[in-house]
Copies of this chain bind each other. A is one copy, B any other.
Amino acid sequence: MKINKVLVANRGEIAVRVIRACREQGISSVAVFSDADREALHVLMADEAYPIGPPPPAESYLAIDKLVRVAKASGADAVHPGYGFLAENAAFAEACGAAGLVFVGPPPAAIRALGDKTAARRIARTLGVPTVPGTFEPVSGAGAMRAAAREIGYPLMVKAAMGGGGKGMRVVRSESELENALALARSEAAYAFGDGAVYLERYLAEPRHIEVQVMADSRGRVIHLGERECSIQRRHQKLVEESPSPFVDASLRERLGEAACRVAAAAGYVNAGTVEFLVDAERNFYFLEMNTRLQVEHGVTELVTGIDLVREQLRVAAGEALGYQQADVVMRGAAIECRINAEDPFSGWMPSPGMITGLRAASGPWVRDDSGAYEGYTVPRFYDTLLAKLMVWGVDREAAISRMARALAEYKVVGVLTTIPVLAHIVAHEDFRAGKLSTGFLDRILPTLTANRDRARSIAIIAAVLAEYERIGHRTDVEPPSPSDNWRLGRRPGWR
């Protein structure tokens, strides 16, 4: 069948990403927006846009019935969920199917099978794909829990079976902490995922987080597009991603890719998905979970393979065969992504919503900016803090890192605080340049990231004082502005 109109059941940069792909395929796009998002970029860019309710996600972006109704009313024949929100919600996929809408993603059964981490672990085990030592069923009851814990050994992790995104996770270093950690994890999981089931896994110290992109069509072909290294995280949330991983050689890549494809095939997977692994210092890898959606960081894979993943998603959803065989997947050079979030990294990553009064995005050779923001856009308080994904490609990792440093230096955001200064420190750090990455990297270097360092201190003082000097000066300036000054005066408010 041919897809003619797609409703994008998401917001922000990923909605923009999907709308762009639709436009390039000659497919009409339908945006949805909460009352907080009428002026969001995805609304401006889509061919059509419809309101779906108040700002809280539960009343808008998570409201399955509203989304399906709008999709039908607008004449859409397919729905793309993006990531987050309902992207891994089997009930949503089913509701779309029941309404005669193509869900651009895997079949509900695959979402269910892989959504339960313990079920996914069982699939991997039956395939002989190594998993992190731990339980393969949710555990409950203090006794059973202690027994299982002893078998696994401490330190270990308590994880939510239906979890993801670092929520409902707890490290337990000794049996004495076990019960308390369990209770906390259960309550967090129940709150975040509506299901308190948890299981146990051995805790690996500073492992590498490496994930493999897979793509499957409805004709039974499954291919992988190489790996992504996502070890730079804060609180289990990724900040910097790259492909290929400096740690993965051709043979490990092949073993990882082969394992990932087998898991996907066994789960009857279709469309784009990501298989996550932990890799230890000896290059042993362990299956962690499979994400049944397009990943935030899919762009770095696109830049090294030249394959447009969202385009392939749409083609596969329309029942077409994948446009590529495994042999067609050739990785060229290296790509890095930095997440520009509206947060203040210098005060505990506190969110920084508000109006973006000045924006100058990086551009130029091999720089890709996937953004949901524009100058004058107000970052709402209700959603996650991701503003833009800044990506670069380079002929090799060293070139890509230098280019990212250049791009971050160009990227100016005024009005809200962002992660840009910390990202710049990360890519400049010798361990990062040396490829010494681990999930503990950021916590290790954060203490060294302090404000007010000497280097450009005088420059900062001069800029701040001139701003104040001009502000005072213009207060006493009574003559009416000449027309050509309007623009500057219009911008004055920023100088408070």
Binding site for B on A (CB under 8 A): 16-17, 20-21, 23-26, 45, 299, 302, 306-308, 310, 332-333, 355, 357, 360-361, 363-371, 374-376, 395, 399, 402-403, 405-406, 409-410, 483-484, 486-487, 489-493
Known A332-B332, A360-B374, A395-B308; judge A365-B302 contact (CB<8 A): yes
Query: What residues on B are CB-neighbors of A365 within 8 Å?
Result: 17, 20-21, 299, 302, 308, 310, 368, 370
A332 touches B306 (CB 8 A): yes
Identical copies of this chain, number: 2
A16 to B364, CA, bound (A): 9
B364 near A368 (CB under 8 angstroms)? yes
Q: Could you tell me the distance in whole angstroms from the C-beta of A225 to the nearest C-beta in chain B?
A: 14
Interface centre among A23, A403, A487 (most CB of B within 10 A): A487
Contacts of A368 in B (CB 8 A): 363-367
Contact residues in B for A45 (Cβ distance below 8 Å): 410
Q: Is B369 in contact with A24, judged by CB distance below 8 angstroms?
A: no
A25 cross-chain contacts in B, Cβ below 8 A: 402
In the assembled complex, the Cα of A357 lies from the Cα of B368 at a distance in Å of 24
On whether the beta carbons of B23 and A406 are closer than 8 Å, the reply is yes
B21, B23, B369, B491: which contacts A490 (Cβ < 8 A)?
A: B491
Residues from chain B with a CB closer than 8 A to the CB of A402 are 23-26
Q: Looking at the complex, which one of B24, B370, B406 makes contact with A24 (CB distance below 8 Å)?
A: B406
Which residues on the B side are within 8 Å of A376 (C-beta)?
487, 491
Offer 10 A-B interface pairs, CB within 8 angstroms, sorted by A: A16-B364, A24-B405, A26-B402, A308-B365, A355-B484, A355-B487, A363-B368, A363-B370, A364-B368, A365-B368
> Which residue from B306, B370, B371, B487 sits with its C-beta under 8 Å from A333?
B306
User: Separation in Å of the A306 CB from the closest CB of chain B?
Assistant: 6
A126 to B402, CA, bound (A): 45
A304 to nearest B CB, angstroms? 10
Set of chain B residues within 8 Å of A332, measured between Cβ atoms: 306, 332
Find chain B residues with CB under 8 A from A16 CB: 364
Contact of A369 among B363, B374, B491 (CB under 8 A): B363
- Least Cβ distance of A349 to chain B in Å? 26
